Amino acid sequence: MASIEEQSKVKNEGEIRYLTPLDIETTSKKRYCRFKKAGIKYVDYKNPDFLLDLVNEQGKILPRRLTGTSLKYQRKVSKAIKRARHLALIPYTGDLIK
């Protein structure tokens, strides 16, 4: 049995792991909202290809700290994803969606 100190050295506390790497650039220091940069005012729930970029392979909505989306647009994105799920445009959960 390894001691608690050895286990804590091996495990990174703040690390989030996904089955496959994300397509979104997360290593840049300067984060920006892609919606503000592109001038998008309305997040369309009828565009499942765009919404799948903001969902991981398990079907969970990616958080702001990974995508860099502003709070205003993160709320719109989550509402659009939930509407698309309700209309069965994108799945609630899935094995390896992408």
Q: The CATH number of the domain where 65 resides is what?
A: 4.10.640.10
* 2/9 Cα distance (integer angstroms): 11
Q: What separation in angstroms does the CA of 9 have from each of 6, 17, 18, 45? A: 5, 17, 20, 43
In a domain, 8, yes or no: no
Question: What's the mean pLDDT in 50-79?
Answer: 93
> For the whole model, what pTM was predicted?
0.68
pLDDT for 22-40, tens place per residue? 666 656 567 789 999 999 9
Q: Indicate the pLDDT class of residue 1, thresholds 50, 70 and 90.
A: low
Tally of domains in the chain: 1
Q: What is the pLDDT of residue 96?
A: 58
In a domain, 38, yes or no: yes
* 42/15 Cα distance (integer angstroms): 32
Q: Is 8 a residue whose pLDDT tops 60?
A: no
Least confident of 7-16, 28-37, 50-59, 85-94: 7-16
In a domain, 71, yes or no: yes
In a domain, 4, yes or no: no
Question: What's the mean pLDDT in 39-44?
Answer: 94
In a domain, 59, yes or no: yes
Phi, psi (degrees; rounded to nearest 5) at 42:
-130, 125
In a domain, 23, yes or no: no
Q: What is the pLDDT of residue 32?
A: 86
In a domain, 2, yes or no: no
Per the structure, the complete domain to which residue 67 belongs is given by 29-98
